[in-house]
Structures are given as structure tokens and as C-alpha cells.
Amino acid sequence: MTLLLTFIQKAIGQGVAILFGASGEIVTEKSGNLNLGIPGIMYMGGIAGLMGAFFYEKSTETPNGAIGVLVSLLCSLIASALGGLIYSFLTITLRANQNVVGLALTTFGVGFGNFFGGSISKLAGGVGQISVQTTAAAYRTTIPGLSKIPVIGTLFFSYGFLTYLSVIVAVVMTYFLKKTRRGLNLRAVGESPATADAAGINVSKYKYVATVTGAAIAGLGGLYFVMEYLGGTWSNNGFGDRGWLAIALVILALWNPDHAIWGSFVFGGLYILYIYLPGLNRATQELVKMLPYVVTIIVLIITSKRNKQENQPPASLGEAYFREDR
Amino acid sequence: METGNAIELKGVTKRFGDVIANDNVNLTVRKGEILSILGENGSGKTTLMNMLSGIYFPDEGEVYVDGKEVTIRSPKDSFALGIGMIHQHFKLINILTAAENIILGLPGKEKLNMKQVEKEIRELTEQYGFDLNPSQKIYDMSVSQKQTVEIVKVLYRGADILILDEPTAVLTPQETEKLFAVLRNMRKAGKSIIIITHKLNEVLELSDRVAVLRKGKYIDTVETAKATVESLTEMMVGEKVKLDINRTEPVGAEKRIEMRGITCKNKEGLKVLTEASFTAYSGEILGVAGISGSGQKELLESVAGLQPIESGEILYFSPEGTTEKISEMKAEDIKNLGITLSFVPEDRLGMGLVGSMDLTDNMMIRSYKEGRHFFADRKSPKKLAEDIVEKLDVVTPGVDTPVSRLSGGNVQKILVGREIASNPTVLMVAYPVRGLDINSSYTIYNLLNDQKKKGVAVICVGEDLDVLLELCDKILVLNSGKVAGIVDARTTTKEKLGLMMTGLTEDKNE
Amino acid sequence: MSKENVISKKEPFARMVKRDHISVGKAWAIRLIAVALSLVVAALVIVAITKQNPIEVYLGIIDGAVGSNRRIWVTIREMMVLLCIAIGLTPAFKMKFWNIGAEGQILMGGTAAAAMMIYFGEKMPNWLLLVVIFVVSGLAGLIWGVIPAIFKAYFNTNETLFTLMLNYVAMQIVTFCIVFWENPSGSNTVGIINAATKGGWFPTIFGNAYTLNVIIVLIITLVVYIYMKYSKQGYEISVVGESQNTARYAGIDVKKVIIRTMMISGAICGIAGAVIVSGASHTISTSTAGGRGFTAIIVAWMSKFNPLAMILVSGFLVFMQQGSIQVASQFGLNENASDIITGILLFFLIGCEFFINYKLEFRKKGEK
């Protein structure tokens, strides 16, 4: 029982980063942009937040957790939005191939994260691993009182604020896409930019805003990982392939952020299942670690036989729009 | 009725690369009139109107709306000026409802209240006599329903000037009448209407004045009352043209293709062709008429071996007297039997040709497999490409130019030329003159007639009923995937075909 | 918005227009400008981090890439690997099959090569072992490539994600194998395989350890070029890539072409894995592919699948990478600096294509 509780709790912890990434990618894809740079952007968001907190904590004798959170949040959002802006400029304004730009951005972003993660302490004149304990502790603060309730407390109230934020973002985004005017317009842009354009919607603006916002949201996934999951430190390539799983989750969630919520927790569970399955040796553990990918592939195959029109990807996904194209 | 000009264009020029689409065009639209813009395909009608709707921006010239000079930089600006355009290729989003499509891009309260919107739309549709369900998804709609959504979309935005691009191309004669009635209602309500068309009879029936464009240049605007088919044609083409198609009597007709009770389903599992049967004879042109999407594509593709068949059979009778069952065969198997079926598909650059490849490589689509060599032969395709360019007067820089660079008429000449080059016994063509100017169209009609005289069984899917009536020997009418009847083209009428297309009468006399 | 607002608005200053054609010289001039700009930006980044004179930094890069005989050969070796992967991806991408699973295909090929070296290192003559390595690693890559192709052909399963996920499955297979091949035990790495016997290593030819790498990759490049340009199968690949409808119309068996092409693509990537393991690193780990499967996509795409351009682009990228790794290590920074540099170069190279396809036009007022 306790083991199961811990498993669920850890699964949710693993899922949060993926959920941020998936939510960010969904809003991006709804504008017709397939951003394969999201994995890189998540690295950028993570390292920028960490650097922000690091320099803040270094600059003062008695660092304050709340300020650390604000500084790192801001740095993370700016860095990942910048990644989104590079992608947007190249694909929307310069109409470059989306997949190629995305892959280049991922190369860049992962390198960016690992480079600064590995070099920041040296550049700052220090030695050893960077760590931002005060800020990380603030990120890890749970709701006082509630988290102490047995079972329910562990299950629902034992997380830092970013976990709740990830769910809120997904829920708000679902509402935005389905019930608001701008959400409708955004969906139209992703389905058929020419139609949206003829209806008086500023296609480029929508694409830019959606892509940059999406990148910023995804970047929070990286921030969550370094702050709450790793506890305010960096490990090279530690974030691994969660960014790619986030992109896979978008398809499995059929472009619905609310489906992504439970989907991300399932992914999180599969990710750590090898720790909790009894009777595994080192070799078989490695095989169990394949599960998230194998499950993704299986679901991908099953869902490739979808017929319903509403469950298809946005019709213009991956294509650049040029009004005067004939 | 109001007086004065709703729109005035002065010296408008638009270029696409080296091509001048509109050259110093002047045009006026009066308030409360229906103005036809007449011109051949490629004469720049749509481009000109797209500059009013904000899709394109003019390179040179001035635009006046209600007497004031304006700058239309985007569709939004165009709406704000009260201009609304109904594009030929509908600008609708399939997965959204009619109401959602109508309010797209409009300002208003952030939270959507679809019930209120739908109520407003119902009021509007009742006022003009439309039939529309606002909560229906576009992908569930017929072509004419989609057009209704487009018109309502423009009216909902409060447009005073409506531009319709080839609105009747996809409608039956009866639906066209209904549309014209609605347009006349709108004129009565004081709206200005511009209708782009190349059909002369519609111009004469509906409009107050006609403006004519030719090869991007503005020719003149005349009162419809003073115009005739002949005078308009001459303005449009620039020379006197003989508009008759020389139809000969079929000689020695033999059975060539017999389709028996063919049923096909599409990807979604819906029947697109139900129990279709017909016979095509050598030395005859069999026309196929129907509302677009009634199964024309599947009819041809199932003969060509490109469409999986649920039930039924297709037989081929060779000139030598043998009979082959070609249903359940793929295109390749049919070819391997030595049967030459030629097929000019509707989607020229998406199926018949590869746009980014040059003429030679496009010739290879039919011939690359020849020979046992691992490497492909490019010499004879090149020769064939050169022959076609010479014989059919294809305008191209050379045989190594990508076909997508060529104009629509030249693309079609290359495709038809290649298909005829294999000396087929059966030639199937879908919408052979769509997008072509009059001279190219007549080149194609003549090619079809030549094939007919050589004893080829020609099957021709068309959209212009007037042309089908003049060109074909028999006409097969499709109505939602069923064969509504096969009639003699020399005796039937357009109205009768229209009724059969919509399933209002059935006529089976073969 | 009222009508007055529209009237008072300024005309757009400049508009973008698609070019019909551009001379080869002009296109290359634009690319050269982009390269120059990217070098300036990359220099600024390096200077910002290292606070060194930019000229010295660039001298450092040149020195790092081609400063000694050994460095030249390492640069050539890395360039050949990148070229080999890009060439391997070419048939798939020409078919518009988004094979982003080269990483996995390389890893599978590399693992197969490592396995052959470990199990047969002393059991057969080296030339035979090398032949076995090429065959088996090609097969391993082929299998990894053909799985998503089969599902694409029969169920239209999204190949981008499928091939991507297979990369990670391949990584797990590598870690699984490392458990058994660990050397020394407890290190969680395989170490240098057959360090003493050099069994399964590429032999030294003309006094150089990497001659065989160059020969193999150039042969593959030439064969793929001829295959794509002159063979019937190459023609089929182009038609399928441009339009599946046209392919059906032409009587091409689309499923067969997809599967066959991915077998070729996967096999070449698998052989690239063997070139890395047998011909360079002599070990296997999850970072054997090291992101080159992704970079190669960009190389192939930007070169428009022209092999000569691929040699240039991969040469340029590897030159800058090797150079920046050297500069970074001089300052005690980590080697990921080269990814940042690569990213910047790619952004400029990708972005400059716009100026080749489009031009800006300024509006003239019409005169009457």
C-alpha cells in the first residue's frame, strides 16, 4: 500500500515535466507549427532558471526563497520564450522547414543546457557542482497542513506549486481552445491559415504568440525538473528524453490538453516502473526502461487507424503559410 | 436605388515574378448593381478581385471605395470597408460548424456564446431565404450548402459589396437559379454584387453591366442589354472564334468497356459508388455529368485499376475480340496484359504529373519500367517530350523545365499528349478543360474528337453541361454515386440533365 | 475598425515575393554571406564566454580542427561519419519519409559491430571479421529502419515519432548489452574492445588508421548518388516522395517502395555505426551516435540531397565543432560548446534559404 502510494506520488512527479512540455506543444501545434525544438527549449528553460537562482543566491548573504523563485521563474520563461522566438522567426517569417529548424533548435538547446550546466560554476569563478538550496526548497514547499493528511495528503498535497500549475495550465488551455473566440481563431489558423487569413485573422501574429507562449510553458517543464525534481542542481543530459515524450504525448492525447494530464502521469509511472517492479536484475531493469517508448509506439500504431475528423492533427501542421502563394 | 460608385480601381497592376497578372486595370462598380467580370481562365479576374479582398496587394495603382482612396492591406481592412468575397475554392474549415466558420476572426466578447450566434444566423438566413443549419459541421455539407455558408459569412459581417468567384461552377442548373434569385434579392436591398465568370449565358441573364478582361488587361465595360454572346466573346478572346465543336457521327461502334454493378467505398467507409453500370463503345465519346463529388472520380479510377472495388465487375473487350475481366486488377496488371487504357486525371499536378519534375521525367511516369535494365532509360522519354512540345505547340523554355512552371493549358497539353502517345483503345479524361483558356480548350476538344475518329472509346467527365451536350455522343448522369441514367446527348436538354443530377427524375433509356 | 482608420493607414513598405529562379552564383553568394554572419555571431558568443580576442579564438578553432596531422585526420574521420549518415538518410528523405531514427539505426549497427568484435575478435582473420561486421551491422540498421516503414506502409503510422521512439529503445538495448560486456566490471562501460589484438579494428592503410573510413564512405556516397539519379528504383523514390497519388497512377507499388527504401536507408546508417565503432571509437555506449543522426538530417536537407553539397556542409560543421571543442577545453569548459556553435551555424544556414527563394520588393506608386 505504502509502496503503491509512493509509486503514484513519484509517477506524478515524473509526469509534471512531460505535461508542461505537452501543453506547450499542443498550443504550438494548434497554430500549425510542429515544434521539434521543444526538447531543447525545455533544457534552456531549466538551465536559465537555475542560473538565475544561482546568481541571485550568490549575490546575497541571506537568500530569500520567494525572490529566488521569482527570479528563476522569470529567467526560465524568458529563455524558453527566446527559443520559441528563434523557431518562430525562422519558420514563420523566413518560412524554413519546421522539422529542420526544430531539430537544430534541439541541438542548440540541449548544448546550451549542458554547456552552462557544466561550466557555470567555473565561469562564475567557483568550483564544483552548482546548487541553489534556498530556491529549490521554496519550489519544494508543499501546502502546509494538508500534506500531512494520511493517504490523501500524500496523493494530492505533497507537491510543490509547479505541479498544480501544470494541471491548471492544461485545464485553462482546454477551456481556451474550446470556449473562447481567440481559441477558435487559433484552431482556424492551424487548420487552414488561408481561411483564417481571409476571415481577417492575423495569421502570423497568432502563430508567433502561440509558439512563443507554448515554448515558455514547455520551458517550465525544464525548470520543474531542475528545481523540484533534482532539488536545484544540474546533471548533464539528466533531463533525458522527456521532451520527446512530451511531443509523443501530444499525439496520444489527440491534441487535448486535458487528456495530456492523465497521459503524462501514466508516462511518469512507466518511466519509474523498473524501480518498483520486484524481482528485476540489472539487465532486466534496462529492458523494463524501454516501456515508455514501446507503449508510445503501440499506442501510435493503434491510433493511426483513427477515422474521426476531429481527432486528426491540425490540417496545416508542418506547413509554412504565404498569402501570395498561388 | 443609390447612385454613385461603390468601388473604383485606377491603374492597378499586379505581377507575380515575371508574369503580369493585371496590367493597368481600371474598373468601376456602381452601387446597387450586379457587375459581371468576364474573362478567360488566366485573364486575371480572380487576382484583381483578390486585391479588393486583401489577399494580394497591388504593385501599382489606386483603389477607391465610396469615392475615397483606400489602402487594403489585409482581409480585415477589406471587411472594414464592407467588402466580402466568396472564393471559388471555399475558405471554410471542415472540422468546425457553420456558425463557428461564420464568426471566425470577428471581434466580440472573449467567451463564445454559440447559441446567440446561431440565433442571429437564423434570422439572417430567413431574411434572404437561405436554407442553413448553423450547427452542422462543414465536412457533412454538400457543395451548395458550403456556398451558402460562405455567402452568409459575408452578410453576417455586414458587407455591402459582395464578390463571387465562379459561383456556379459547382452548382446544378436548378441550384444556379436559386442562387441568382438570392443575388437579385440582395441587389434589391441595395448591395453591389460582382460576379466573376466565364460563362456568357449567365452574364447575359443576371448582370446589369459586364467588364471584360483579356490577358490581364482591362478591355471595356458595357451594358448587358447592349451585348450579345458574339460581341462579348470577341472582347474576351480578342478575335472572332468559332464556338462550334465539330461532332461527327460515331462509326462502327464496338463494345470496349462494360462496367457491371460496381460498388466502391471511401476511406471513411461510405459508399461513393453504388451498383454503377455502363458500357463504353469505340468511336464514341461518353460524357459523365454530375454534381462534383458524385462518384465521377471513383468511376474512372475503378476502370483504371486505381480504386479498390467492393463488388461488381468490369470487362474489357479488345479490338481483337478477346474479353478480359479487369476489375480486381491493379493499373500495372492491366498494363501487363497489353491493354492500353489512358487516363487524364482531374488532379493534373497531383496525380497525372509531378510538378517539380521536368518534362522528360514526367514522360517516364508511363514508361520508366520498360526494359529489364536496372537503370532507367531517359532517351526515348526525352524524344517523346520534344515531339509533344512540337506537335501541340507547348510553350516551354525546354524539356528540362519543371512542369509546375508552365501555364495550365500547357500542363494539360503535356498530360493529354503523353496519354494519347501510347495509342490507347480507351481514353478517360476528367475535367479536361478546367482552368484552360478558350483556344487551349478547343485544342483539347479537337484532340478528343481525333481520338474518337480513330476508334478510341473516350470517356469524358465534365462540369460544363453546355460543352458536354455539344461534344459527347452519350451522357451518363451520376447522382450521389448512382447512375441516374444514360441519355443521348443530341436530344436531351440541360434542364433534364440538371434534374437527373439532383435525383428528381430517373431516366433509364439505353 | 472604422473606414477612416483603413484610409489613413500607411502602405506596406516592402513586400515579399517568391522568386521564379535565381542564378547559381547569386544563391551561393547568399549562402556565403550567411556563413560569414554565422561566424561573426558564433565569435561573439565565444568571446562573451571566454573574454578572449575573437581573432585568437578563431585561430584556436582552426588550430583545433586542422592544427596537426592527427587533428586533420580526426576532423576528416568525423566528417566522413556525418556524411555517411546524411547519405544514408537521403533516400528516405527524398521519399519524404521523416526518418529521425538514424540515431537508433546507428546504435543498432554499432552494437552489432561491437558484438562481432567481442565474440569473434580472435576467432577469424581480420578481413573476414570486417566483412562480417559490415554485413551484420548493416542488417541491424536495416531491421531498425524497416520496422517503422512496415507500419507506415500498411497502417500509415506516423514515422517521425515511431523512428524517434526507436532511438530510445535502441539506447536501452545498448545499456542492456553493456551489462554483459562491461569491462572492467563495475565500470558500467565497455571500454576499448580488443585493445591488444585490435581484432575487428579498421586496419592501417597507407600509414593511416582512417583511410578505410574514407574509402568506405566515399564508395557509399558514389553508389547512392548513382542509384538515386539513374536507376528505376531511384526514380520510383522521387515519384513516391513528390506524390503518392501519382505513384499509384504510375503503377508503382508504394508500400514496396517505402519498405525497400527504408531498408537501404537503415542499412547505411547501420554501417555508419560500424564505421564509428570499428573504425574510430572501438567501444560502444549510448552516446555512440551522439546526436549526429539529427545533425545529418539537417545536412541532407540543406544540401538538397546533392552529395557534393553534403560534403561541403558536413565538412564545415565538423570543422567548427572540432575547433570549438578544442577552444572549450583550452578554457576548461565542456565540449557541449560545440553544440551551441553548431546550432548557431544551422540557424543562419537554414534562414538564408529564405533569401534564395524570396526577394523583397518595394512598392511604387502607380502613375496615370
ipTM of predicted complex: 0.87
User: What's the mean pLDDT in B272-292?
Assistant: 92
Find, in chain B, the residue whose alpha carbon is nearest to that of C10.
Answer: B71
Which three-class secondary structure state does DSSP give residue A63? coil
Find, in chain B, the residue whose alpha carbon is nearest to that of A195.
Answer: B91
pLDDT confidence bin for A325, thresholds 50/70/90: low
User: Residue C37 domain-assigned?
Assistant: yes
Q: Which helix (H) or strand (E) holds B292?
A: none
Cis before C184? omega within 30: yes
User: What per-residue confidence (pLDDT) applies to B3?
Assistant: 61
Tell me the range of C132-141, C319-328, C335-344 where mean pLDDT is highest: C132-141
Residues B355-398: tens digit of each pLDDT: 889 999 999 998 888 878 888 888 899 999 999 999 888 888 88
Write out the three cell numbers for C329. 577545453
Domain residue limits at C109: 65-330
- Torsion angle (degrees, nearest 10) of CA B417, B423, B426, B428: -10
Whether C332 and chain A come into contact, CB under 8 Å, resolves to: yes
For residues C248 and C163, membership in a common domain is answered with yes
For residues C286 and C228, membership in a common domain is answered with yes
Q: Which helix (H) or strand (E) holds B190?
A: none
Is residue C277 pLDDT above 50, yes or no?
Answer: yes
CA atoms within 13 A on the CB side of A147: 11
User: Residue C315 domain-assigned?
Assistant: yes
Write out the three cell numbers for B433. 478543360
User: What per-residue confidence (pLDDT) applies to C265?
Assistant: 96
For residues B85 and B218, membership in a common domain is answered with yes
Which of A180, A201, A202 is facing B104, going by the closest CB pair? A201
Which of C172, C344, C354 is facing A94, going by the closest CB pair? C354
Across the A:C interface, residue pairs with CB atoms under 8 Å apart total 154
Is residue C8 pLDDT above 70, yes or no?
Answer: no
For residues B344 and B433, membership in a common domain is answered with yes
* DSSP assigned state of B403: G
For residues B369 and B491, membership in a common domain is answered with yes
Mean model confidence pLDDT for chain C: 87
User: What per-residue confidence (pLDDT) applies to C235?
Assistant: 95
For residues C35 and C78, membership in a common domain is answered with no
Is residue C2 pLDDT above 80, yes or no?
Answer: no
For residues C352 and C239, membership in a common domain is answered with no
User: What's the mean pLDDT in A267-291?
Assistant: 88
Residues B83-116: tens digit of each pLDDT: 999 988 888 999 999 999 999 988 888 888 999 9
For residues B404 and B476, membership in a common domain is answered with yes
Q: Is the dihedral of CA C18, C23, C26, C31 positive or negative?
A: positive
How many domains are there within chain C?
Answer: 2
Residues B433-445: tens digit of each pLDDT: 887 878 888 888 9
Measuring CA to CA, which residue among A68, A1, A22, A6 is closest to residue A251?
A: A22
User: Residue B192 domain-assigned?
Assistant: yes
How many domains are there within chain A?
Answer: 1
Query: What whole-number distance in Å separates Cα of residue B384 and Cα of residue B501?
Result: 40
Residues in C touching A297 (Cβ below 8 Å)? 162, 165-166, 169
Q: Contact A96/C158, CB-based, under 8 Å?
A: no
For residues B179 and B44, membership in a common domain is answered with yes
Contact B362, B354 (CB under 8 A): yes
Find, in chain A, the residue whose alpha carbon is nearest to that of B267.
Answer: A307
Q: Contact C339/A104, CB-based, under 8 Å?
A: no
Is residue C31 pLDDT above 50, yes or no?
Answer: yes
How many domains are there within chain B?
Answer: 2
For residues C226 and C318, membership in a common domain is answered with yes
User: What per-residue confidence (pLDDT) applies to B408?
Assistant: 80
Give the end of a domain, one of B220, B237, B254: B237
Whether B267 and chain C come into contact, CB under 8 Å, resolves to: no
Q: Contact B61/C238, CB-based, under 8 Å?
A: no
For residues C119 and C41, membership in a common domain is answered with no
Of the two residues B78 and A324, the one the predictor is more confident about is B78
Write out the three cell numbers for C79. 566528417
Residues in A touching B16 (Cβ below 8 Å)? 324, 326
User: Residue A317 domain-assigned?
Assistant: no
Which of A106, A248, A300 is facing C294, going by the closest CB pair? A106
Q: Contact C333/A118, CB-based, under 8 Å?
A: yes
User: What per-residue confidence (pLDDT) applies to B330?
Assistant: 84
Query: What whole-number distance in Å separates Cα of residue C348 and Cα of residue C368?
Result: 43
Of the two residues B143 and C219, the one the predictor is more confident about is C219
For residues B337 and B202, membership in a common domain is answered with no
User: What per-residue confidence (pLDDT) applies to C57?
Assistant: 78
User: Residue C14 domain-assigned?
Assistant: no
Is residue C332 pLDDT above 80, yes or no?
Answer: no
User: What's the mean pLDDT in A124-150?
Assistant: 76
For residues B436 and B378, membership in a common domain is answered with yes
Interface test with A, best of C169, C177, C187, C345 (most A CBs within 10 A): C169
Residue C149 belongs to domain with CATH number: 1.10.3470
Whether C333 and chain A come into contact, CB under 8 Å, resolves to: yes
Find, in chain B, the residue whose alpha carbon is nearest to that of A200.
Answer: B76
Q: Are strands B60-65 and B68-70 parallel, antiparallel or unpaired?
A: antiparallel
| Cα distances (angstroms) measured from residue A7 to each of A21, A153, A229, A266 | 22, 14, 15, 11
User: What's the mean pLDDT in B150-154?
Assistant: 91
For residues C164 and C288, membership in a common domain is answered with yes
Q: Contact A297/C294, CB-based, under 8 Å?
A: no
Write out the three cell numbers for B208. 446589369
Find, in chain B, the residue whose alpha carbon is nearest to that of C241.
Answer: B354
Domain residue limits at A149: 2-311
User: Residue A320 domain-assigned?
Assistant: no
Measuring CA to CA, which residue among B284, B247, B258 is closest to residue B455?
A: B284
Is residue C366 pLDDT above 60, yes or no?
Answer: no
pLDDT confidence bin for C105, thresholds 50/70/90: very high
Residues in A touching B95 (Cβ below 8 Å)? 191, 309-310, 312
For residues C179 and C196, membership in a common domain is answered with yes
User: Residue C164 domain-assigned?
Assistant: yes
For residues C218 and C306, membership in a common domain is answered with yes
State what percent of residues in chain C have pLDDT above 90: 47
For residues B353 and B211, membership in a common domain is answered with no
Residue A148 belongs to domain with CATH number: 1.10.3470
For chain B positions 401-430, those within 8 Å of chain C (CB to CB) are 405
Residues in A touching B87 (Cβ below 8 Å)? 198
Tell me the range of A59-63, A118-122, C284-288 where mean pLDDT is highest: C284-288
User: What's the mean pLDDT in C75-101?
Assistant: 94
User: What per-residue confidence (pLDDT) applies to A129?
Assistant: 66
User: Residue C85 domain-assigned?
Assistant: yes
Residues in B touching A199 (Cβ below 8 Å)? 75, 91, 104-106, 153
Whether A53 and chain C come into contact, CB under 8 Å, resolves to: no
User: Residue C260 domain-assigned?
Assistant: yes
Which of C15, C232, C239 is facing B354, going by the closest CB pair? C239
Which of B17, B60, B405 is facing C19, going by the closest CB pair? B17
Residues B28-75: tens digit of each pLDDT: 999 999 999 998 877 888 889 999 998 888 888 999 998 889 999 888
Complete DSSP assignment for B120-154? HHHHHHHHHT----TTSBGGG--HHHHHHHHHHHH
User: Residue C16 domain-assigned?
Assistant: no
User: Residue C106 domain-assigned?
Assistant: yes
For residues C307 and C365, membership in a common domain is answered with no
Query: What whole-number distance in Å separates Cα of residue A24 and Cα of residue A246?
Result: 9
User: What's the mean pLDDT in A216-244?
Assistant: 89
User: Residue B247 domain-assigned?
Assistant: no
Q: C260: distance to nearest CA of chain A, Å?
A: 20
Domain residue limits at B180: 5-93+159-237
Contact A28, A246 (CB under 8 A): no
User: Residue B300 domain-assigned?
Assistant: no
User: Residue A187 domain-assigned?
Assistant: yes
For residues B227 and B339, membership in a common domain is answered with no
Residues C168-184: tens digit of each pLDDT: 999 999 999 999 998 88
Query: What whole-number distance in Å separates Cα of residue A242 and Cα of residue A237?
Result: 11
Which three-class secondary structure state does DSSP give residue B473? coil
For residues C364 and C220, membership in a common domain is answered with no
Instruction: Classify burial at B266, counting beta carbons within 10 Å of its beta carbon; exposed 0-12, middle 13-18, buried 19 or more.
Output: middle
Residue B26 belongs to domain with CATH number: 3.40.50.300
Mean model confidence pLDDT for chain B: 88
User: Residue B312 domain-assigned?
Assistant: no
For residues B179 and B79, membership in a common domain is answered with yes
For residues B199 and B344, membership in a common domain is answered with no
For residues C260 and C354, membership in a common domain is answered with no
Residues B178-213: tens digit of each pLDDT: 889 889 988 988 899 999 987 888 888 899 999 999
User: Residue A75 domain-assigned?
Assistant: yes
User: What per-residue confidence (pLDDT) applies to C6?
Assistant: 46
User: Residue A115 domain-assigned?
Assistant: yes
All chains having 3 or more CB pairs closer than 8 angstroms to chain A: B, C
